[in-house]
């Protein structure tokens, strides 16, 4: 069933604040084969927040995660993420189109810190594969 | 300026660790049958895993730089076999303008590009 066009422009509730710890950054770095020696988190780390926001969006729309394939991801940073940050992501559905039985969903998530300041804006294209 | 190509290996165990660290537990990154059911050629790496490797290469080339933007398309899946691993190569070409350095990346697996137009802009 195609995703409802009225979703475009909808802003989903902010995710629960996530406390960035040095241990979690180290685990993220280790998972991609690196070694964390303190300092800012890696550039793709904000996906942790964006993914949380996407999961809430998928649950709200009853979409299955296993049908989602990632099409594109972009990050624009205001500043690096550092341990001690408390971050929240707010997801907006920015576009939606149907191609060959798949839904192509564009989302933008704004990641803000505890003071409300913007840390990173990240946009994703999600391909929702229709049932065969 | 051409940058020294970086080579990384991805294993299934890495994908399990990455799923835990990133919160992305999509079973297409763990389970052959689920991957096949949505038309994929096998268990594939998280696109964000491959993108993290691209970012890691940029960090290796420019250790002190602040990343201003990073983006790519996920154009071809990186299939990760159950045994052993798969190699991903990250090559880069840097150009400078207006105080910013743009790193145009080429990310390949088995000689095939897996990311579309991967690019990082950094303040070196």
The dotted CATH code for A5-128 is 3.10.129.10
Name, in order, each residue with C-beta under 8 angstroms of B41's C-beta and a sequence gap of 6 or more: B35, B77, B79
Q: Is the pLDDT reported for residue A1 higher than 60?
A: no
Average pLDDT, stretch A76-100? 97
Domain limits of chain A? 5-128
Q: What pLDDT is attached to residue A132?
A: 52
- Chain B residue numbers with beta carbons less than 8 Å from the beta carbon of A77 are 66-70
Q: What is the pLDDT of residues B97-119, one digit of tens each?
A: 999 999 999 999 999 999 999 99
Name residues of chain B where pLDDT drops below 70.
Answer: none
- Asked if B79 and B86 count as a contact pair (C-beta separation under 8 A), the reply is yes
pLDDT for residue B24: 94
Domains of chain B, CATH where assigned: 2-10+46-123 (3.10.129.10)
**A8-55 pLDDT, tens per residue?**
999 999 999 999 999 999 999 999 999 999 999 999 999 999 999 999
**pLDDT beyond 60 at A127:** yes
Q: Nearest chain A residue to B60 by CA: give it.
A: A34
Mean residue pLDDT across chain A: 94
How far is Cα of residue A71 from the mean position of the Cα atoms in its chain? 13
pLDDT confidence bin for A106, thresholds 50/70/90: very high
Check if B21 contacts A (Cβ < 8 Å): yes
In percent, the amount of chain A with pLDDT more than 70 equals 97
Q: Is B71 on the interface with A (CB under 8 A)?
A: yes
Distance of alpha carbon B56 from alpha carbon B11, whole angstroms: 17
> Which residues does residue A126 pair with via DSSP β-bridges, in sequence order?
A70, A105
At residue A129, what are phi and psi to the nearest 5 degrees? -80, 125
How far apart are the CA of A30 and the nearest CA of chain B, in angstroms? 8
Burial (Cβ within 10 Å: 0-12, 13-18, ≥19) of residue A65? middle
Q: Is the pTM for the entire model greater than 0.90? A: yes
């Amino acid at each position: 069933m195609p995703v409802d066009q009225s979703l475009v422009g909808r802003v989903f509730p902010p995710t629960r604040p996530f406390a960035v710890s040095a241990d979690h950054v180290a685990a993220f770095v280790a998972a991609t084969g690196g070694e964390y020696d303190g300092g800012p988190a890696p550039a793709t780390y904000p996906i942790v927040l964006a993914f949380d926001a996407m999961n809430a969006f998928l649950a709200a729309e009853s979409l299955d995660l296993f049908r989602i394939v990632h099409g594109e991801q972009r990050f624009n940073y205001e500043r690096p993420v550092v341990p001690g940050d408390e971050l929240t992501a707010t997801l907006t559905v920015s576009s939606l189109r149907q191609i060959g039985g798949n839904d192509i969903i564009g989302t933008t998530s704004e990641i803000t810190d505890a003071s409300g300041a913007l840390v990173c804006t990240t946009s994703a294209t999600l391909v929702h594969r229709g049932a065969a | 300026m051409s940058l020294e190509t970086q080579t990384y290996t991805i294993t299934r165990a890495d994908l399990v660790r990455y799923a835990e660290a990133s919160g992305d537990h999509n079973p297409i990154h763990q389970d052959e049958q689920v991957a096949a059911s949505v038309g994929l050629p096998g268990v594939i790496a998280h696109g964000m895993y491959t993108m993290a490797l691209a970012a890691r290469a940029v960090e290796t080339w420019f250790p002190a730089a602040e990343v201003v933007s990073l983006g790519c398309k996920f154009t071809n899946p990186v299939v990760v076999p159950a045994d052993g691993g798969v190699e991903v190569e990250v090559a880069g070409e840097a150009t400078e303008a207006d105080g910013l350095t743009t790193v145009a990346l080429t990310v390949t697996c088995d000689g095939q590009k897996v990311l579309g137009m991967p690019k990082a802009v950094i303040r070196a």
